[in-house]
Amino acid sequence: MIKKLLFLFLSTVILISVFPLTTAAYVPPAEQILKSLQSSNRGISTLTVELATTIYDDMYEMGATEAVEKVFIKKGFFLRLERYRFSGKEKIIQRGRRVLAIPSNGADSDARIIDTVFPSLLFQSSLGELVDTLNFLGVDTGDTSLDRIGTEVAYTIGTSDKGIPGSRLWIERKRGIPLRFTGIATSEGKKVTLRADYTDYIPVKKGTWFPGTIRIYRDETLWIESTTKTTKINAPLPESLFYIPEGTHVGLPLTTFITIKE
Q: Where are the domains of the chain?
A: 25-253
Considering the segment(s) 25-253 as one domain, its CATH architecture is Clam (2.50)
The pLDDT of residue 108? 78
**Residue of 154, 171, 137 whose CA lies nearest to 36:** 171
Which of 238-241's residues contact partners 24+ apart within 8 Å by CB, and which partners?
A: 239/74, 239/78, 241/72, 241/74, 241/78, 241/80
The pLDDT of residue 7? 47
Q: 61: left (phi > 0), else alpha (psi -120 to 50), else beta?
A: left
pLDDT tens string for the chain (262 positions)? 554 444 444 544 444 444 444 445 689 999 999 999 998 888 899 999 999 999 997 655 567 889 999 999 999 889 999 999 887 899 999 999 999 998 755 667 889 999 999 999 988 888 999 999 999 999 999 999 999 999 999 999 998 777 777 999 999 999 999 999 999 998 878 899 999 999 999 999 888 899 999 999 999 999 999 999 999 999 999 999 999 988 657 788 898 998 866 5
